[in-house]
Amino acid sequence: MSQQPALKVSDVQSLLADPSVSSRAEMAVKIAQSFGTGRLTVGEKAIAHDIFRMMMRDAEAKVRRALAESLKDNPDVPRDVALALAQDVESVAAPLLEWSTALTDADLESIVRSSADGKQSAVARRRGLSATLARAIAETAGPLGVQALMENATAAIPDDAFGTVLNRFGGESAIQTAMVNRNRLPVSVAERLVNMVSVALRERLMAEHDLPTDLATDLLLQARERATVDLALSVDREDLSMLVGRLRKNGRLTPTLILRSICAGDFDFLECALAELAGIPVNNAYRLMHDQGGQGLVGLIRHCGLSDDFLEIAQVALAVTGELQLDGQPGDRVRFAERMIERVLTSFEDRFDTENLNYLIGRLGRSTAVAEAASPAG
């Protein structure tokens, strides 16, 4: 690997002889690179520090930017230099704000709370961003900074910060997408997010297409349920029961939602949903579902007030899942769901127009609703 030349007095003389912007920018890079080698003498370091302090006050942003870019990943840069550059205009400050370890969380939080979106975004992109800074960005940053925070997979984002983001920017589609794409969200936040996305869809459909209220509501429910199924597939097993409980509390643990989860091959969700509706432990629901005689599933579904049509599709799906296994390859969940849906639709093709899953689920959901209405209260 080539070595950077050590700083020399002649470099300073050259700078004085040719004080053009380009020359000053090139010198800023050279001095910063020499400083980063660790081979400067004490005297040379002192000269470098003085030149840094001179250049950080240079009238040309190009020079200051060159200095900032060259010093961004050097942990030994004098703190006053790093802080001055970080407080400069956005084009100069961004490299230090995103990369420099010479800046403390207190330095960065002060900048986040007093700066515009560009600087906030640079801080939000920092690797291993602390919970303190994540919370500050969630509370004060503009939409670009918050989006950058949500897109930062290494950020330690506290649960309350997610809630703050939803309160401030829940309707921003780019932020919604960034949140959905995170590896994990708190269940309470994920459940709120699904609702926000669905409400936005409903409003857009109503405004842009002048849809009848009933049709818009049907489309809203379909989108909400599809999003909830996708969410449930990404939730940790220990959080799934909590999600199901929240869905039921909010009146959203519907037969159609459970049917969608079955067609997606999500039997963990089915177990938790039936356990929640029946008021029994999930382990008990699992044993009843997989009772070899099949009567356990029959009794469980009827105890939950679900229809015979629901029972039939659950029986078909359980039989299919014994034949179709996830193979661990990319896209296996999608292929599994497609095969599951095909088998389920085929099983009902003589009874319903099963051209699409939404129609089938709607019919089955209505038959379950009729069964619930006919059953005695209790």
pLDDT tens, position by position, 363-378: 444 444 433 444 444 3
| Structure confidence at residue 209 (pLDDT) | 53
- Mean pLDDT, residues 228-232: 83
CA atoms of 243 and 232, how far apart (whole Å)? 8
Q: What share of the chain is helix, strand, coil (3-state, %, to 5)?
A: 70, 0, 30
Look at the pTM and tell me if it is higher than 0.75.
Answer: no
DSSP 4: P
Maximum distance among all Cα pairs of the chain, rounded to whole angstroms: 97
Q: Is the pLDDT of residue 222 over 80?
A: no
Q: Which residue has better confidence, 39 or 271? A: 271
- Between 137 and 28, whose confidence is greater? 137
The DSSP output letter for 38 is T
Selected residue with higher pLDDT from 76 and 114: 114
In three-state secondary structure terms, 175 is: helix
The residues near 67 (Cβ < 8 Å, ≥ 6 apart) are 28, 29, 32, 52, 55, 56, 58, 85
Q: What is the distance in angstroms between the CA of the first residue and the CA of the last residue of the chain? A: 79
- The answer to whether 297 touches 289, Cβ cutoff 8 Å, is yes
In angstroms, rounded to a whole number, what is the distance separating the alpha carbons of residues 314 and 310?
A: 6
Predicted confidence (pLDDT) per residue in 62-99, tens digit:
888 888 888 898 888 888 889 999 999 999 999 999 99
pLDDT at 50: 74
pLDDT tens digits, residue range 328-353?
A: 667 666 676 677 777 777 776 666 55
Query: Is 253's pLDDT higher than 80?
Result: yes
The better pLDDT of the pair 233, 104 is held by: 104
Lowest mean pLDDT among 30-39, 42-51, 225-234: 30-39
What angle do the packed helices 255-263 and 267-278 form, to 10 degrees? 150
What is the rounded CA–CA span in Å between residue 72 and residue 99? 6
